[in-house]
Amino acid sequence: MSVHLPDASWPPVPEPLPHPVVDNHCHLDHRIRGGHRIDVADALDLAASVGVARIVQVGCDLPSSAWAVATAEAHPAVVAAVALHPNETPALSAAGQLDDALAEIDRLAAHPQVRAVGETGLDYFRTGVEGRDAQHRSFREHIAIAKRHDRALVIHDRDAHDDVLAVLDDEGLPERTVLHCFSGDADFARACVERGAYLSFAGTVTFKNAPDLRDALKGTPLDRILVETDAPFLTPMPHRGRPNASYLVPITLRYMAETRSVDLGDLCRAVEENTDRAFGGPWPRHGADAV
């Protein structure tokens, strides 16, 4: 297995995990500053070398959703999630293109390499009040698509906790629902878990300004915890500000284990089992020498 970093701007490779896990939310297609990104094969090799042996590649619009499906077809350790990000929907709606775009997501969701519909949801940070109707309409339709195809629902929630819960309560959750890059406090975590959702923690849990998020992690049942990168964004400390990739999951997981005062190996095993349940069963790991 070839394992190398493309340039010095990428953080060093951390110590491997004692048990393999899944990065359940990654954007391998996104380019970092300067237009660079890790090649998919290199990203998989690097991740597998530290025990991150599988990846969920997540779409945010029609091109990236189609790219996710094609990448999952080419790499057995990758499965796809397809959706229109909530910040994409107001412009599509204004242009009269939202219905056609949703129909294409519905078509892509039927592909056997697709395990999830997402990331969908609500974002009140980047989209103003004028765009909320389009976000709500799209969110509700994505919920229906996830149910129609028996896919996990992957939710993007930014500054919209109460409305996300209101929509879920109104529509009813799919059998499997993931709060991607969970950003709420312990009370919101409890409300999500009570509805049957999984909570996915990213590098943000390591940030100094995230005590509420760490409280949420401590209070979340072990069988509801997932881990992700949201790469190339949200790089964990001490590398915040540098590009992120799946091979850095061990930094976040070690921090999570310390925060919860649990054995790292036990947490890794729980995270992998939870991910398989959340995304509809296991799929092949990458690399013959993955731990």
Tell me whether residue 4 is annotated as binding. no
pLDDT(21) > 70: yes
Q: Is 25 annotated as a binding residue?
A: yes
Range of the domain at 60: 21-278
Given a cut of 70, whether residue 107 has pLDDT beyond it is yes
Does 133 map to a domain? Answer: yes
Is residue 210 a part of any domain in this protein? yes
Structural domain includes residue 8 = no
Residue 209 domain-assigned?
A: yes
Average pLDDT over residues 232-253: 96
253 within domain boundaries: yes
The per-residue pLDDT for range 30-53, each reduced to its tens digit, is 876 556 678 999 999 999 999 999
120 phi and psi angles, rounded to 5 deg: -120, 175
pTM of the model: 0.95
156 known member of a binding site = yes
Q: What is the mean pLDDT of residues 152-159?
A: 98
Domain count, the chain: 1
List, as own/partner pairs, every contact residues 95-103 make where C-beta atoms lie below 8 angstroms and the sequence separation is at least 24, other chains included.
98/134, 98/137, 98/138, 101/62, 102/138, 102/141, 102/142, 102/145
Q: Is 119 annotated as a binding residue?
A: yes
Q: Is residue 94 a part of any domain in this protein?
A: yes
Tokens for 240, please give them: 């915040």
CATH for 169: 3.20.20.140
Q: Is 85 within any annotated ligand binding site?
A: no
Which among 169, 59, 170 is positioned nearest to 115, based on CA atoms? 59
Q: Is residue 203 part of a domain?
A: yes
Q: Could you tell me if residue 4 is inside a domain? A: no
Q: What was the pLDDT predicted at 37?
A: 73
Q: How confident is the model at residue 4 (pLDDT cuts 50, 70, 90)?
A: low
